[in-house]
Each structure stands twice: as C-alpha cells, then as structure tokens.
C-alpha cells in the first residue's frame, strides 16, 4: 500500500475543465499533497488555480511512462487520470501499463468524475489513514 504524499494528475484535453473544476471545489485536499502532472495538465492547473505542480513530460512524449516509474517508488498516494471515453484513441498513448502499475502497487486511480469524487473523499481523511484492501475470493487472505 502506498504511503506517499504525492498525487498524480492527468486529464485528456476534453476532460481538463472537469479536473480544474473538481480541484477548485476541493482545493484544500489537493493543497495537502505534492502534485505531479504531465506538462499540459500541470500548466493548466497552475494557470487556472495557482497551485504548484511539478511538470513531467507531455503525454505524447512519454509522460505517462515517466509517471508509471514514479508509482513504483511508493511515494504516490493516488492517481487522477480523467480519460475522454469518446475521443478516438489513435492519438493517445496506450495507458494499459498505467493501470497495471497502479494495480501492482495498490495505488488507487480514478478515471472518471464519480471515481475522482470518491477518491477525494478518502484523501480528505487523515493523510496517514491507509486504504485497506479487502481480500477477494481468489486471494489467500480470503481462505
């Protein structure tokens, strides 16, 4: 389970206004974390909200891959990756590795607004409150 104090923020172009609106509404929660984002998302957050964001590569230049590596360092608390479900995927990088690395490292990831609100609710609790995974029927803990 990640115990990090960093949040990753990514939004496809059409979803960026929704991410900004959510961050404006829940600014206090986001201010408690170090923020990382791909270049375009980070620039928009800084411009619209004035929050400090560490920018990594753009999505088309491997930014998602760079962020995947960071997830493995146990410093990432959560990922907000608001995807545009209706835009053609041919111009977007494959994000399957992103899902995989979050799953392998038990880092919660929201890909839509309902998930983002639920994740923010959890994040708004004490920063040291871990998310306790529930054992699934196929896991050893459930036996």
> Which mean pLDDT values do the consecutive 10-residue runs of the chain (143 residues) have?
79 94 95 93 96 82 78 92 77 75 94 95 70 52 44
pLDDT number for residue 131: 53
User: pLDDT over 90 for what percent of the chain?
Assistant: 51
Would you state the pLDDT for residue 110? 96
How many other C-beta atoms are found inside a 10 Å radius of the C-beta of residue 10?
A: 27
Q: What is the pLDDT of residue 69?
A: 87
pLDDT at 130: 57
For residue 132, the model assigns a pLDDT of 57
Domains parsed from the chain with CATH numbers: 6-142 (3.40.50.1380)
pLDDT of residue 109: 95
- pLDDT, residue 98, reads 82
- Show the 3-state SS of the chain: CCCCCEEEEEECHHHHHHHHHHHHHCHHHHHCCEEEECHHHHHHHHHHHCCCCEECCCHHHCHHHHHHHHHCCCCEEEEEEECCCCCCHHHCCCCHHHHHHHHHCCCCEECCHHHHHHHHHHHCCCCCCCCCCCCCCCCHHHC
């Amino acid at each position: 389970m990640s115990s990090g104090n960093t949040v990753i923020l990514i939004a496809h172009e059409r979803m960026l206004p929704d991410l900004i609106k959510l961050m404006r509404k829940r600014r206090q929660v986001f201010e408690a974390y170090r923020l990382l984002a791909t270049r375009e998302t980070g620039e928009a957050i800084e411009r619209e909200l004035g929050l400090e964001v560490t920018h990594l590569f753009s999505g088309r230049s491997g930014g998602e891959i760079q962020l995947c590596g960071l997830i493995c360092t146990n410093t990432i608390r959560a990922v907000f990756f608001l995807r545009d479900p209706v835009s053609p995927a041919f111009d977007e990088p494959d994000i399957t590795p992103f899902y995989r690395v979050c799953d392998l490292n038990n880092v919660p990831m929201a890909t839509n607004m309902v998930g983002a609100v639920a994740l923010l609710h959890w994040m708004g609790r004490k920063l040291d409150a871990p998310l306790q995974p529930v054992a699934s029927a196929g896991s050893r803990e459930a036996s």
